[in-house]
Amino acid sequence: AQSVTQLDSQVPVFEEAPVELRCNYSSSVSVYLFWYVQYPNQGLQLLLKYLSGSTLVKGINGFEAEFNKSQTSFHLRKPSVHISDTAEYFCAVKEDYQLIWGAGTKLIIKP
Amino acid sequence: DGGITQSPKYLFRKEGQNVTLSCEQNLNHDAMYWYRQDPGQGLRLIYYSQIVNDFQKGDIAEGYSVSREKKESFPLTVTSAQKNPTAFYLCASSMGTATNQPQHFGDGTRLSIL
């Protein structure tokens, strides 16, 4: 069975600085990977997805992620964060009929 | 606009009471899901439905029940057998469970115990 590990429960970063949110999944023959964002008291919104093809995936709000099969990672990055990026970010991998979720990383933007 | 509507946004349950959370979608999606979210944890799957009149248990189905009488609707009942129901409940839908298309989410219902 798949598992997803988000290595940091919280990541504090100054506004306009770059950020990386880390996600590792357990090995599988083929994987389909997703990053979602959750703003306070709201549902989840899809940021980006990797299904196949280019290992660098671009998403909404200036985020991108790189699929690394050898390291079984799918880290999320943004070159310059804004206060509006304050949210919780979830990584997920598709397995059979369901998504397997990481525990989430809270992105805290410091002014 | 197409989307998923969950109601109510906040819900309170008394001891021994069953409560029902509503989830409606107008995306014409076949598959629907219910998740439970607790602080510091990822989402845990309660039930899912691939098609009308069919549903399957997820990882934490005990104390919950669902129905899928219409394609658009997938209500979740939290029964009195669920001893720790305080959580944020999220409903989602997708084109199908066999596809790799992403799931779309409602804005959630926060359930608390009185």
> Could you read off the pLDDT of A59-89 as tens digits, one per residue?
999 999 999 999 999 999 999 999 999 999 9
Give the HSE-up count for residue A109: Cα atoms under 13 Å, Cβ half-sphere. Answer: 16
Does A94 touch chain B if contact means CB atoms closer than 8 Å? yes
Does A89 touch chain B if contact means CB atoms closer than 8 Å? no
User: Minimal Cα–Cα distance from A36 to chain B, Å?
Assistant: 10
Contact A103 B41 (CB under 8 A): yes
The three-state secondary structure class of B88 is strand
Chain B's closest residue to A42, CA to CA, is: B107
Amino acid B16: pLDDT: 86
Q: Mean pLDDT throughout A9-31?
A: 91
Pairing of strands A10-14, A105-110: parallel
Measured in whole angstroms, how far is the alpha carbon of residue B53 from the centre of its chain?
A: 16
- Parts of chain B with a pLDDT under 50: none
**Can you give the length of chain B in residues?**
114
pLDDT over threshold 70, residue A31: yes
Amino acid B97: pLDDT: 72
Residues of A whose CB is below 8 A from B99: none
Amino acid B99: pLDDT: 67
Does B30 touch chain A if contact means CB atoms closer than 8 Å? no
Amino acid A28: pLDDT: 66
